[in-house]
A and B are shown apart, each in its own frame.
Chain A
Amino acid sequence: DAGVIQSPRHEVTEMGQEVTLRCKPISGHNSLFWYRQTMMRGLELLIYFNNNVPIDDSGMPEDRFSAKMPNASFSTLKIQPSEPRDSAVYFCASSLGGIMNTEAFFGQGTRLTVV
């Protein structure tokens, strides 16, 4: 298996533009997570999907952020409009059967820079 695949790996955009990050989880995994990593705050959970349904989006910073999972093999995280403070590395992770007992696997991340 190729693991969790994220695209793009790097994104540089201007303030106010829409940004879409993409994630393909490991085949057969039914839980998907979006995390954000910054120097100041470390890794923070943004949203958790189980069986394609958003279960907890309390970590989404504000309404500018939205996430979708239209099927078991694809998820997007969208920021509209983007702001410089959104600059961070965004990780997608997947696991099997909910994370309570199983190992989480992370993608390589998308490094977002908003100028």
Chain B
Amino acid sequence: KQEVTQIPAALSVPEGENLVLNCSFTDSAIYNLQWFRQDPGKGLTSLLLIQSSQREQTSGRLNASLDKSSGRSTLYIAASQPGDSATYLCAVNSGYALNFGKGTSLLVTP
């Protein structure tokens, strides 16, 4: 069974810092990996989708990388802002279902 781990569980940074969120998975046989953002009491918003054949994807200040062989992905957030405060979830697709990590709760302080 695919196990997805996200480190750290929580992170607090001052506004303007660049930061990296980590995701690791146990089975490298994946189709794709998706990063989501979840605000308190809200649904999941898709941020980036990386196919298994890709190394990275970028959207604005976000950059996600994928190293399938080592079972790792990182989400890089440049020049963080208070509005980036949320929980970030990594989800790995090894078949038809997404296996989720427990998330990293990010707080960006002004």
Task: Report yes or no: B43 in contact with A104, Cβ–Cβ below 8 A.
Answer: no
The number of chain B residues touching the other chain, given as a range, is: 20 to 34
Give the secondary structure class of B's interface.
Answer: strand
Q: Is A96 an interface residue (CB 8 A)?
A: no
Which B64-83 residues have C-beta < 8 A from chain A?
none
Pairwise interchain contact A100-B46, C-beta atoms closer than 8 A: no
Interface residues of A in 73-115 (CB under 8 A from B): 91, 93, 98-109, 111
Chain A interface size range = 20 to 34
The answer to whether A106 and B36 have CB atoms under 8 Å apart is: yes
Pairs A–B under 8 Å by Cβ, sample size 25:
A31-B96, A33-B97, A42-B100, A42-B101, A42-B102, A43-B89, A43-B100, A48-B96, A50-B96, A55-B96, A56-B97, A91-B43, A91-B44, A99-B31, A99-B93, A99-B96, A99-B97, A102-B49, A103-B34, A104-B34, A104-B46, A106-B36, A106-B46, A108-B42, A111-B41
